[in-house]
Homo-oligomer: A and B are copies of this chain.
Amino acid sequence: MSSGSEGVRETQGRLLEKVLEIVKREQLVTGIDPSKKVIEFMHPEELKSLLALNIGREGVDVNEASSTLEKVARYSVKTQHPHYYNQLYGGIDEAALTGAWITEAFNTNQHTYEVAPVFTLVEHYMIKWMVRLFGWSEGDGIFSPGGSMSNMYGMVLARYKKYPEVKQRGIASLRPLVALTSDQAHYSIGKAASWMGLGMDNVVPVKTDRWGRMDPEALKEAVKEAKEKGKDPFFVNATCGTTVLGAYDPLMEIADVCQEEGLWLHVDACWGGTAIVSRTYKHLLDGIERADSVAWNPHKMLGVSLQCSPFIVRHQGLLHESNSASATYLFQQDKFYDVSYDTGDKSFQCGRKVDAFKFYFLLSLHGLDEMERRVDAAFSASRYLSEQAGKREGFRLVLEQPQCTNACFWYIPPSLRGQQEDEQWWQKVGKVAPKIKEKMVKAGSMMIGYQPVPQKGLVNFIRHINTCYPTPTHEQMDQVLDEIERLGADL
Interface string of A339-375 (1 = CB under 8 A from B): 0010000001111110001001101111111100110
Any B CB within 8 A of the CB of A51: yes
Taking CB atoms, residues of chain B closer than 8 Å to A23 are 13, 16, 105
Q: In whole angstroms, what is the CA distance A188 to B325 when docked? A: 8
Q: Would you call A401 an interface residue if the criterion is a C-beta within 8 Å of the partner chain's C-beta atoms?
A: no
CB of A443 within 8 Å of the partner chain: no
Contact at B72–A118, with CB atoms within 8 Å?
yes
Chain B residues within an 8 Å CB radius of A19: 98, 101-102, 105
Decide yes or no: A332 and B200 within 8 Å by CB, A76-B119, A188-B350, A337-B43 being known contacts: no
B residues near A441, Cβ cutoff 8 Å: 114, 336
Which of A3-11, A219-227, A255-263, A285-293 forms contacts with chain B? A3-11
A322 to chain B minimum Cβ distance, whole angstroms, is: 8
Assess whether A16 is in contact with B94, with CB atoms less than 8 Å apart: yes
Q: Tell me the chain A residues, 423-482 only, with Cβ under 8 Å from chain B.
A: 431, 434, 437-438, 441, 447, 449-454, 460, 463, 469-473, 476
Given A68-B364, A170-B198, A171-B171, verify A76-B108 contact (CB < 8 Å).
Answer: yes
Query: How often does this chain occur in the complex, in copies?
Result: 2
- Whether B20 pairs with A17 at a CB distance below 8 angstroms is yes
User: From residue 259 to 310 of chain A, which have CB atoms closer than 8 A to chain B?
Assistant: 299, 305-307
Stretch at the interface among A146-154, A233-241, A391-399, A412-420: A146-154
> Mask for A368-385, Cβ within 8 A of B = 1, else 0?
111001100000000000
Residues of chain B within 8 A (CB-CB) of A32 are: 1
Cβ-defined contact, B170 with A176, below 8 A: yes
Show 27 residue pairs from A and B whose CB-CB distance is below 8 angstroms, ordered by the A residue: A1-B32, A3-B82, A3-B476, A9-B366, A13-B23, A16-B101, A29-B105, A48-B121, A53-B364, A59-B365, A59-B367, A60-B365, A76-B117, A97-B104, A97-B107, A145-B145, A148-B350, A167-B194, A167-B199, A191-B323, A194-B323, A197-B198, A244-B329, A306-B353, A328-B451, A329-B449, A335-B434
Provide the bound-state CA to CA distance between A53 and B357, in Å.
Answer: 11
Known: A11-B94, A19-B102, A94-B15. A353 touches B202 (CB 8 A): no
Digit string of A96-130 for contact with B (CB within 8 Å is 1, else 0)? 01101110111111011111111111100100010
A1-44, CB < 8 A from B: 1-13, 15-20, 22-24, 28-34, 39, 41-44
Contact B156 A195, beta carbon cutoff 8 Å: yes
A190 at the interface (CB under 8 A from B): yes
A4 to B469, CA, bound (A): 7
Known: A30-B12, A72-B357, A176-B172. A145 touches B349 (CB 8 A): yes
When distances are taken between beta carbons in the complex, the residues of chain B under 8 Å from A450 are 332
**A95 within 8 Å of B (CB atoms):** yes
Closest Cβ neighbor of A431 among chain B residues: B334
**In the assembly, what is the distance between CA of A325 and CA of B261, in Å?**
29
A170 near B146: Cβ-Cβ < 8 Å: no
Q: Which of A52-110 contact B (CB under 8 A)?
A: 53-60, 65, 68-69, 71-73, 75-80, 82, 86-87, 89, 91-95, 97-98, 100-102, 104-109
On chain B, the residues within 8 Å of A449 by CB distance are 329
With A95-B15, A98-B15 already in contact, the answer to whether A348 and B125 are too (CB < 8 A) is: no
- On chain B, the residues within 8 Å of A10 by CB distance are 30, 94
A332–B44 contact, CB under 8 A? no
List residues of chain B with CB within 8 A of the CB of A175.
172
Check if A491 is an interface residue, CB within 8 A of chain B.
no
Contacts of A121 in B (CB 8 A): 44, 47-48, 51, 53
Which of A54, A109, A453 has the largest count of B CB atoms less than 10 A from its CB?
A109
Q: In whole angstroms, what is the CA distance A336 to B78 when docked?
A: 20
